[in-house]
Amino acid sequence: MQHPYNYSLDGDTFTYRFTTKLGIEYYLVFVEDKSLENVNPNLGDNIYQLILDKKGEQIEPKDAQVFLTIQSIINDFFQQIEHALIYVCADSDSKQDKREKLFSRWYQQSTSKHYLIKIDNQIKIQTTSGFIYMSLLYHIDNAKGDELTRSFRQLAKLLEQDK
């Protein structure tokens, strides 16, 4: 049975780091996100955006331990049930479709799907070759879950209008 990679947390920057068996360094950063506050100022300060990046351009072959590590970090994050998490699949390299499929597959395979709600949005932007994919994750016991869902959907509508 495979296990997650060892990871470290920089508490000052809320950055998790881990290195794969091939020496590829990954970073997961949780950055406070105020975008839903523009739609609903009552949501508070527990909304973060997840940024996943790796150091260098090396192509990583499929590695189940990467998934297990990210899952473990997200499980740690949601120890605080009032947290909510937004992630946006970057479109700067036109690989947003692949990222969205990968993250959706990870969610379906994760043990977290039993207690995390995932809401997806697709936003068509004229200046890109496709959609921008955004997802919202929150704990099923989050008291503001319905407000989060409504606000996230409203945000997508506003972004569509602004395109």
C-beta neighbour count of 148 within 10 angstroms: 23
Q: Which two tokens stand for residue 156?
A: 């997508």
How many Å separate Cα 114 from the centre of its chain? Answer: 17
pLDDT one digit per residue (tens) for the chain, 163 residues: 689 999 999 989 989 999 999 999 999 999 999 988 888 988 888 999 998 888 877 777 888 899 899 999 999 999 999 999 998 876 666 666 677 777 778 778 888 888 999 998 877 665 556 677 888 999 999 999 999 999 999 988 887 776 5
Q: Which two tokens stand for residue 146?
A: 């319905």
97 in Cβ contact with 130 (< 8 Å)? yes
Predicted TM-score of the model (pTM):
0.85
18 in Cβ contact with 7 (< 8 Å)? yes
